């Protein structure tokens, strides 16, 4: 077992969240344009559920980390721990303007209603910013697994 | 896709092949969906479509370099390893439907919705070191019990954090360095605890053969098996081998493998003496940690219930133990003895279906 195993685990998680974000963002934008959805209602509900679960986890770990940044976050894969630190640093340095980087991540779950996902600029912008961080993290996992030529 | 469809594989790889084909089909479906999204000609969607396309690109990279080779390389001599892994996966209701395959490389496992077991080419040719697969299976058990396992690992991390906590806190640079150092140690223990758990799984499933395979595999690794400097320890994926051995020997004795444990311990003590090495772990390990770690590892075993070694049964674990016994009885005659063991395993009344039922 080497560090690549952790990268693969991390990539699996990131892919499911990024995929869910893409599904929700595309759906919300099509709704805004009064266009037909591309994915089924079940697929969209599942994507929302995935994001909500993950935001709740992120929120929990973020609180633990921000209470004492000198202490390790226990019971967490070190790659996820690195993401939490990166998220916290992006918040501190005001790298992103969207709501999720100014409120707690769990606040975003309130905007995601499984039965009636209403369009909201806050939601789309937050998801897009979150995706940027996840993609950055994902790139480094990918490079760890499959080095460049 | 045609290459995979047309490739003939042993029945033990059928589940894996099916998974691979479904994965490629699902990637095709994502691409088709993205093409439909592009045809909407809504520029607001382009970033999302690009992101989705990148996911497919990354997945294709992984499939091409990690997941297709085990099907492409599939060779008849894999049969013993495949039967062993099939037995392992069938030993637990939660792993029975996880596709698996074998790949060339250092011992290891890649786990996602499927499992890739890595096995060095030399070790693929014999029985002795197949016992190390039992450790790798521990990683699979860990993954399917992740939430409970991570809670238990947190117990170890918190206990170590408590041991390391400075006697009194003061706001100076030295204190900050100490906190940072402790954070690295505690974080490192996530990976270390996982590996100690997998060693325990290896021993529970493989019995004495696991201890012997482990010991022989690492024995000639040099001083590094006893000592790593502080920088090497920080964020390392595995505890120093001498630490792993302490835990293995303790558990092996609890399981009643006293004679073999004494023999292994003696060999490692001789090595330690000849290297004249000082076992210093810079706070990453001290004897005071032992009890709490061992207790939690036992809880992790209880939580994941790996199949226990039973020498009165007929299983691949027993086969590997027989191999080690033959090896120690007569090393020179071992190659022939191993051929007989393999022959009997594949042709005698020992049929995989009978163990599974």
The per-residue pLDDT for B353 is 47
Q: Is the per-residue pLDDT at A120 higher than 80? A: no
Region B74-85: what's the mean pLDDT? 87
The per-residue pLDDT for B250 is 98
Q: Is A3 on the interface with B (CB under 8 A)?
A: yes
| Measured CA distances, B162 to B167, B283, B342 (Å) | 10, 12, 51
The per-residue pLDDT for B312 is 81
Q: Is the per-residue pLDDT at A133 higher than 50? A: yes
What residues in B contact A71, CB-CB < 8 Å? 161, 179, 183, 186
Cα–Cα dist A82/A10, whole Å: 10
Residues in Cβ contact with B142 at an 8 Å cutoff, skipping those fewer than 6 apart: B149, B194, B197, B198, B300, B304
What residues in B contact A39, CB-CB < 8 Å? 33
- CA distance to partner chain B, nearest, from residue A98 (Å): 17
What class has domain A3-144?
mainly alpha
Cα–Cα dist B140/B189, whole Å: 19
Region B83-93: what's the mean pLDDT? 94
Least confident window among B28-32, B305-309, B347-351: B347-351
Q: Is A147 on the interface with B (CB under 8 A)?
A: no
Question: What DSSP character marks residue B87?
Answer: H
- Residue at a domain's end among B124, B145, B177: B124
Q: When comparing pLDDT for B279 and A5, which is higher?
A: B279
The per-residue pLDDT for A1 is 54
The per-residue pLDDT for A119 is 55
Q: When comparing pLDDT for B352 and A10, which is higher?
A: A10
Question: What's the whole-number average pLDDT of chain B?
Answer: 91
Contact between A74 and B190 using a beta-carbon 8 Å cutoff: yes
Contact between B157 and A12 using a beta-carbon 8 Å cutoff: no
Tell me which chain A residue has its CA closest to the CA of residue B29: A39
Nearest 5°: the CA angle B4, B62, B138 is: 95
**B230 and B92 within one domain:** no
Q: What pLDDT digit, counting tens, does each position of A30-57 carry?
A: 988 889 999 999 999 999 999 999 999 9
What residues in B contact A44, CB-CB < 8 Å? none
Residue B160 lies in a domain: yes
- Of B331, B321, B202, B210, the closest CA to residue B264 belongs to B210
Task: Specify whether the CB–CB gap between A90 and A101 falls below 8 A.
Answer: yes
- B278 pLDDT band, cuts 50/70/90, is confident
- CA distance to partner chain A, nearest, from residue B351 (Å): 31
Q: What pLDDT digit, counting tens, does each position of A21-37 carry?
A: 999 999 999 988 889 99
**B138 and B119 within one domain:** no
Contact between A70 and B179 using a beta-carbon 8 Å cutoff: yes
Residue B181 lies in a domain: yes
Q: Is A2 on the interface with B (CB under 8 A)?
A: yes
**B138 and B59 within one domain:** no
Strand partners, B111: B115
**B205 and B78 within one domain:** no
**B300 and B213 within one domain:** yes
Contact between A5 and B111 using a beta-carbon 8 Å cutoff: yes
Contact between A1 and B190 using a beta-carbon 8 Å cutoff: no
Contact between B55 and A12 using a beta-carbon 8 Å cutoff: no
Burial of B54 (C-beta count, 10 Å sphere; 0-12/13-18/19+): middle
What residues in A contact B33, CB-CB < 8 Å? 38-39
Task: Specify whether the CB–CB gap between A60 and A75 falls below 8 A.
Answer: no
DSSP alpha helix (H) spans, chain B = 2-6, 14-39, 46-62, 69-72, 79-90, 121-124, 132-144, 146-164, 173-206, 208-218, 230-233, 241-254, 258-275, 290-304, 316-329, 334-347, 352-356
**B51 and B8 within one domain:** yes
- A1-17 as b/e, with b when 16 or more CB fall inside 10 Å? bbebbbbbbbbebbbeb
Strand partners, B110: B116
Region B320-341: what's the mean pLDDT? 96
The per-residue pLDDT for B354 is 46
Residue B351 lies in a domain: no
Contact between B186 and A75 using a beta-carbon 8 Å cutoff: no
Nearest 5°: the CA angle B88, B134, B127 is: 95
The per-residue pLDDT for B124 is 78
**B271 and B254 within one domain:** yes
The per-residue pLDDT for B47 is 96
Residues in Cβ contact with A69 at an 8 Å cutoff, skipping those fewer than 6 apart: A88
Q: What pLDDT digit, counting tens, does each position of A101-117 carry?
A: 999 999 898 888 755 55
Q: What is the 3-state secondary structure (H, E, C) of chain A?
A: CCHHHHHHHHHHHHHHHHHHHHHHHHHHHHHHCCCCCCCCHHHHHHHHHHHHHHHHHHHHHHHHHHHCCCCCCCCCCHHHHHHHHHHHHHHHCCCCCCHHHCCCHHHHHHHCCCCCCCCCHHHHHHHHHHHHHHHHHHHHHHHHHCCCC
Residues in Cβ contact with B10 at an 8 Å cutoff, skipping those fewer than 6 apart: B74, B78, B79, B82
**B146 and B75 within one domain:** no
Contact between B55 and A29 using a beta-carbon 8 Å cutoff: no
The helix or strand, by DSSP H or E, that contains position B115, with its residue range, turns out to be strand B115-119
The per-residue pLDDT for A115 is 57
Q: Is B37 on the interface with A (CB under 8 A)?
A: yes
**B116 and B134 within one domain:** no
Number of domains chain B is built from: 2
Residues in Cβ contact with B191 at an 8 Å cutoff, skipping those fewer than 6 apart: A6, A78, B236, B237, B238
- Residue at a domain's end among B124, B147, B162: B124
The per-residue pLDDT for B248 is 98
| Joined tokens for residue B177 | 């360095």
Residue B203 lies in a domain: yes
| Joined tokens for residue B35 | 């093409």
- Which of B40, B45, B55 minimises the CB distance to A15? B55
Residues 97-136 of B with CB under 8 A from A: 106, 108-113, 136
Q: Is B303 on the interface with A (CB under 8 A)?
A: no
- Residue at a domain's end among B277, B294, B309: B309
Region B97-126: what's the mean pLDDT? 84
- A145 pLDDT band, cuts 50/70/90, is confident
Residue B59 lies in a domain: yes
Q: Is A22 on the interface with B (CB under 8 A)?
A: yes
Task: Specify whether the CB–CB gap between A61 and A73 falls below 8 A.
Answer: yes
**B134 and B45 within one domain:** no
- Of B185, B213, B197, the closest CA to residue B146 belongs to B197
Contact between A15 and B112 using a beta-carbon 8 Å cutoff: no
**B249 and B212 within one domain:** yes
- CA distance to partner chain A, nearest, from residue B45 (Å): 6
Q: Which residue has the tokens 């997941």?
A: B67
| Joined tokens for residue A128 | 């897009």
- Domain housing B95: 2-124
Size of interface A-B (CB pairs under 8 A): 118
**B296 and B162 within one domain:** yes
Q: Is A47 on the interface with B (CB under 8 A)?
A: no
């Amino acid at each position: 077992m080497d560090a690549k195993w952790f990268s693969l685990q991390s990539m699996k998680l990131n892919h499911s969240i990024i995929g869910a974000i893409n599904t929700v963002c595309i759906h919300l934008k099509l709704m805004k344009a009064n266009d037909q959805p591309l994915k089924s209602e079940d697929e969209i509900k599942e994507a929302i559920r995935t994001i909500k679960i993950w935001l709740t986890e992120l929120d929990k770990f973020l609180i633990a980390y921000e209470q004492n940044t000198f202490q390790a976050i226990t019971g967490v894969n070190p790659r996820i721990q690195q993401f939490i630190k990166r998220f916290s640093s992006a918040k501190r340095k005001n790298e992103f303007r969207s709501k999720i980087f100014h409120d707690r991540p769990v606040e975003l779950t309130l905007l995601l209603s499984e039965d009636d996902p209403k369009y909201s600029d806050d939601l789309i912008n937050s998801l897009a910013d979150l995706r940027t961080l996840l993609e950055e993290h994902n790139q480094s996992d990918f490079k760890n697994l499959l080095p460049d030529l | 896709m045609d290459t995979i469809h047309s490739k003939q594989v042993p029945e033990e790889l059928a589940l894996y092949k099916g998974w691979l084909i479904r994965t490629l089909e699902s990637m095709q479906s994502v691409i088709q969906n993205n093409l439909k999204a592009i045809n909407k000609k809504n520029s607001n969607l382009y970033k999302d479509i690009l992101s989705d396309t990148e996911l497919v690109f990354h997945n294709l990279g992984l499939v091409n370099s990690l997941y297709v080779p085990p099907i492409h390389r599939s060779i008849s001599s894999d049969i013993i390893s495949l039967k062993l892994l099939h037995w392992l996966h069938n030993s637990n209701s939660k792993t029975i439907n996880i596709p698996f395959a074998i790949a060339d490389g250092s011992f290891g496992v890649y786990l996602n919705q499927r499992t890739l077991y890595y096995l060095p080419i030399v070790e693929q040719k014999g029985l002795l070191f197949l016992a190390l697969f039992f450790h790798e299976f521990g990683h699979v058990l860990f993954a399917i019990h992740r939430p409970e396992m991570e809670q238990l690992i947190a117990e170890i991390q918190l206990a170590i954090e408590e041991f390391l906590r400075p006697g009194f806190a003061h706001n100076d640079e030295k204190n900050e360095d100490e906190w940072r150092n402790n954070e690295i140690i505690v974080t490192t223990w996530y990976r270390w605890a996982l590996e100690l758990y997998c060693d325990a799984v290896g021993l529970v499933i493989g019995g004495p053969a696991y201890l012997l395979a482990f010991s022989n595999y690492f024995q000639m690794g040099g001083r590094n098996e006893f000592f790593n400097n502080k920088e090497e320890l920080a964020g390392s994926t595995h505890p120093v081998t001498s630490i792993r051995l302490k835990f293995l020997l303790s558990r092996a004795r609890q399981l009643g493998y006293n004679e073999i444990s004494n023999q292994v311990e003696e060999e490692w003590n001789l090595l330690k003496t000849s290297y004249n090495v000082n076992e210093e772990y810079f706070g990453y390990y001290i004897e005071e940690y032992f009890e709490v770690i061992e207790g939690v590892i036992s809880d992790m075993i209880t939580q994941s219930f790996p199949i226990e070694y039973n020498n009165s049964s007929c299983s691949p674990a027993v086969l590997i133990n027989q191999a080690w016994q033959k090896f120690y009885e007569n090393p020179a005659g071992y190659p022939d003895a191993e051929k007989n063991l393999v022959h009997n395993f594949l042709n005698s009344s020992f049929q995989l279906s009978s163990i599974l039922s």
